[in-house]
Amino acid sequence: MMMKKQRLIPYCTIPIAGLLLASCIHVKEYQKSRINDSEMSLSNRKVEKNELNAQSYREGSSGANAGKTGGGCGCN
Amino acid sequence: MRKICLTVVGMYIMLIHAFSQVSSKDTSSYKPKKLKFEEANFVSSYYNQSADKSAVMGGRTDSKGIADVTDFANGLDIKFVGWDPKGRKNSITAGIGVDYHTAASQAYVDSNGTARNYGTRLYPTLDWTIENERKGTEFGLGAYYSAEHNYYHSVGLNTSFSKKTRSNGEISGKLTTYFDQIKMIVPAEFIPVDSIKSSGTAAVTDSIIYVTTASGRTEALSYRSGQVISQGTKTEIPSKSRDTYSGSFGFSQIINTRMQASLGFDLVYQTGYLGLPFHRVYFNNGKDTIENLPSQRFKFPVGLRLNYFLGDNVILRAYYRFYADSWGLLSHTASIEVPVKITPFFSISPFYRFYVQTAARYFAPYAVHSPQEQYYSSNYVLSTFSSNFFGAGIHFSPPNGIAGTGIHELEFRYAHYTQTTDMISDVFSLSLKFK
3-class SS letters over chain B? CHHHHHHHHHHHHHHHHHCCCCCCCCCCCCCCEEEEEEEEEEEEEEEEEECCCCCCCCCCCCHHHCCCEEEEEEEEEEEEEEECCCCCEEEEEEEEEEEEEEEHHHHHHCCCCCCCCEEEEEEEEEEEEEEECCCCEEEEEEEEEEEECCEEEEEEEEEEEEEECCCCEEEEEEEEEEEEEEECCCCCCCCCEEEEEECCCCCCEEEEEEEECCCCCEEEEEEECCEEEEEECCCCCCEEEEEEEEEEEEEEEEEECCEEEEEEEEEEEEEECCCCCCCEEEECCCCEEECECCCEEEEEEEEEEEEEEECCCEEEEEEEEEEEECCCCEEEEEEEECCEEEECCEEEEEEEEEEEEECCCCECCCCCECCCCCCEECCHHHCCEEEEEEEEEEEECCCCCCCCCCEEEEEEEEEEEEECCCEEEEEEEEEEEEC
State the ipTM, two decimals. Answer: 0.82
pLDDT of residue B424: 97
For chain A, the 3-state helix, strand and coil shares in percent, each to the nearest 5, are: 55, 0, 45
Domain count along chain B: 2
Residue A70's SS3 state is coil
Q: Tell me: do B148 and B205 sit in the same domain.
A: no
Instruction: Name the residue facing B151 among A41, A69, A73 (closest C-beta).
Output: A73
> Does residue B137 contact residue B165 with C-beta atoms inside 8 Å?
no
A28 touches B at CB < 8 Å: no
Selection from B333, B79, B68 nearest residue A46 by Cα: B79
CB proximity B151 to A under 8 Å: yes
Quick check: is B293 in a domain?
yes
The predicted pLDDT at position B236 comes to 61
Name the residue in chain A with its Cα closest to that of B341. A39
Whether residue B162 sits in one domain with residue B279? yes
Chain pair A-B, CB pairs under 8 angstroms: 217
How far off is chain A from B197, nearest CA to CA, in Å? Answer: 34
Distance CA B96, CA A66 (A): 19
Residue B21: burial class (beta carbons within 10 Å; 0-12, 13-18, 19+): exposed
Model pLDDT, residue B191: 59
Nearest in space to B157 (alpha carbons), one of B172, B146, B141, B170: B141
Q: Do residues B255 and B386 share a domain?
A: yes
8-state DSSP, A45: P
Contact B393/A47, CB-based, under 8 Å?
yes
Count of C-beta atoms within a 10 Å radius of residue A33: 10
Does B8 reside within a domain? no
CB–CB of B168 and A27 under 8 A? yes
B71 and B204 fall within a common domain: no
Mutate to test the interface with A, among B68, B120, B168 (most CBs of A within 10 A): B168
- Is there a domain that residue B20 lies in? no
Contact (CB, 8 A) for B78 and B37: yes
Q: Which of A8-12, A66-70, B164-168, B264-268 has the lowest mean pLDDT?
A: A8-12
B205 and B64 in a common domain: no
Chain A residue with the nearest C-alpha to that of B357: A60
Do B164 and B273 have their domain in common? Answer: yes
Q: Which residues of A touch B412 (CB under 8 A)?
A: 47
* Domain assignment present for B410: yes
User: Cβ–Cβ contacts within 10 Å for residue B390, how many?
Assistant: 16
Under an 8 A CB cutoff, do B431 and A45 touch?
yes
Q: Are residues B385 and B283 in the same domain?
A: yes
CATH number at residue B122: 2.40.160
Same structural domain for residues B197 and B86?
no
Residue B215 falls inside a structural domain:
yes
Looking at the domain assignment, is residue B389 inside a domain?
yes
Output the pTM of the full model: 0.84
Same-domain status, B256 and B283: yes
Percent of chain A topping pLDDT 70: 66
pLDDT per residue as tens digits for the range A30-44: 888 999 999 999 999
The domain containing residue B199 runs over which residues?
193-237
In order along chain B (435 residues), what is the average pLDDT of each group of 10 residues? 59 53 48 85 97 95 93 97 93 96 87 81 96 95 88 89 94 96 81 48 48 54 53 64 96 95 96 93 94 97 97 96 97 98 96 98 97 97 98 94 89 97 97 95
Q: Do A20 and B244 touch (CB under 8 A)?
A: no
Q: Is residue B16 part of a domain?
A: no
Cβ distance A54 to B417 less than 8 Å, yes or no, reads yes
Q: Is there a contact between B430 and A47 if contact means CB atoms under 8 Å apart? A: yes
In this structure, are B61 and B200 located in the same domain? no
Q: Do A46 and B433 touch (CB under 8 A)?
A: yes
Q: Is the domain of B315 the same as that of B340? A: yes
Tell me if B367 is assigned to some domain: yes
Would you state the pLDDT for residue B361?
97
Beta bridge partners, B95, equal B77, B125
A69 at the B interface (CB within 8 A)? yes
Same domain membership, residue B250 and residue B233: no
Answer yes or no: do B433 and A72 touch at CB < 8 A: no
- Say which of A9, A10, A47 has its CB closest to residue B411: A47
| CB proximity under 8 Å: B 331-360 to A | 331-333, 339, 341, 347, 349, 355, 357-358, 360
The alpha carbon of residue B410 and the mean position of all alpha carbons in its chain are separated, in whole angstroms, by 22
Q: Which of A43, A50, A52, A57 to mutate to test the interface with B (most CBs of B within 10 A)?
A: A50
